[in-house]
Structure 1
Amino acid sequence: MNLRQLPALNALRVFEAAARHESFSRAADELFVTHGAVSHQIRALEDELGTPLFLREGKRVRLTDVGCRYAKDVRAALISLADATREVREGQRARRLVVSSVSSFSARWITPRIGRFIERYPQIDLELLSTNVLTDFTRDDVDVGIRFGTGPYSDLHVEALLDEVSFPVCAPTFNGGALPKTPAELAACPRLLRSDDQMWRPWFQAAGLAGVPEPRRGVLYQDSSNLLQATIDGQGIAMVRRSIASHELTTGRLVRLFEIDAPSASSYWFVCPPPLLASARVQAFRAWLMEEVASYRAQITARP
């Protein structure tokens, strides 16, 4: 049969719903269209086929014998088409890996390294979600999360990735290259701020200067990437987490001031729903991520 002679798929969907309900109104409700649209589609289909499919009895309709036989065949064909479509979609989803991460970590730690994952696993379609909203795996279409917090996280597979410390950084050209020589000098320097962090006081305490307060004035940055860019541009000195600044320190766009760390109560964690852990795409990402973490740890051990 010439497939171009088939009725329009939309008309067949409308007919199948109307035949199943034996009601144009209920079919219209199911398909989110008007009663008139269903009636028009059915009438056009009957004209195309050259035979009535429904008997109209006032406001009620019922299938003719031809309509009843045709409805069974159409329903079987649509079910077969739906099954084939589902199999294709499931195959596509098996190749798609959705990873949710804190925005700053995604931009500053994952992105500079992710090319190696893409080269190794070209068959995986990776989607990186950069968000500071905690992923709800029961609701969100996410395979893996990288969380920054104190852990643990119930009902999830959880593995520790990285501990974190903070320290001050600035551009090498800050203040004309005349950088502070002692921690005490930092108190008088322009210090850049994160709106949701209290990171300066713990560092000064670690440096033996417990009386230095948090800065009270200046621009508040919601996003660590914007904070780092302002620091690179020489606008001041920022207190940053090591993982967020590592790429800029390696490239020389930023320099670290003093070998003093302020420890963080929060760490980075690899999390995913237990049923997804065994999937090939999650196993591939986990293996790559653990390799990158091991390499990063070796680098910071060799080069503080």
Structure 2
Amino acid sequence: MADVAIIVPTLRRPDSLERALRSLFAQTGVGDRVSEIVVVDNDPSGSAKAGVEALRRLAPWPLVYVHAPRPGVATARNVGLAATTAPLIAFLDDDEAASPGWLAALLKAQESTGADAMFGPITGRAPEASDWLKPYLERFFGREGPERTGLIETPFGCGNSLLVRATALPGPAPFDAGADQAGGEDDALFAALRARGGRFGWAAEAMVEEFAPAHRATLAYALARAFAYGQGPSQTAAAARDWPAVLRWMVIGAGQTVVWGAGAAALTLIGSSKRAELYDRTARGVGKLFWMKGFEPHFYGARELARLDRATAA
């Protein structure tokens, strides 16, 4: 029975999108379980449509194109969900490429664990990064977890995931559109799932590669993202009005800022290539302190569209 849909949100990455889709067309071991692959074009001009149409004849399952003209990562995910009724939803980002056994591994792991949300490992690729930064950036864009498949305590992001719709994706628009520009829509979703008693799982063999484009393969971009990741725990606690937890995270952040900041300064003085890791930890600590509105960096939606427009004009 076709019971799983794969959703791929995209915004003006034609070459990357084609790589992602071709990796999905090459999936093995899933038989007729895929109901459709849904490509959500988040570009107001609908720029991905022609590319999707050109690939349709290669798809082993229905390839569905939907347009989400309002730029925003949460909106794109919600529009993708509205285009399918499948009870299982797999997400693959447009800068990722799935291994041939990716979806089969996610499905098998979900069946064995009964988890509401499954996640798999990601190998980061930053081919255009500076030599000293490349090891850090490839770890940053990657994802590591347990060696074996099983239940886990801490969820990851939506890229490379399989979600049980009935329990993990409640309502017609489960992703908060308020996160369209800054991201973090998956953090809020999974925090709510945890509060409802949901379970998270790890599929050790569900391998994906993530390719960082040149504008993201920089220290400045990675540290801005690290700051935003650091904001996550404090923001989640604030959204639940758990002010003691907010204070606890801020105290933790202050400690991290002082300790890792001192370490980063020392490694910078001696020119160590390992300093990027401590910059990252320091940024996450600072994020826990400055979690309030007005401090969120924007990576998606209108900001990304404006960057793409500038790049095209140049």
Per the normalisation by structure 2, the TM-score is 0.23
User: Normalising by the residue count of structure 1, what TM-score does the alignment of the two structures yield?
Assistant: 0.23
Q: Which has the larger radius of gyration?
A: 1
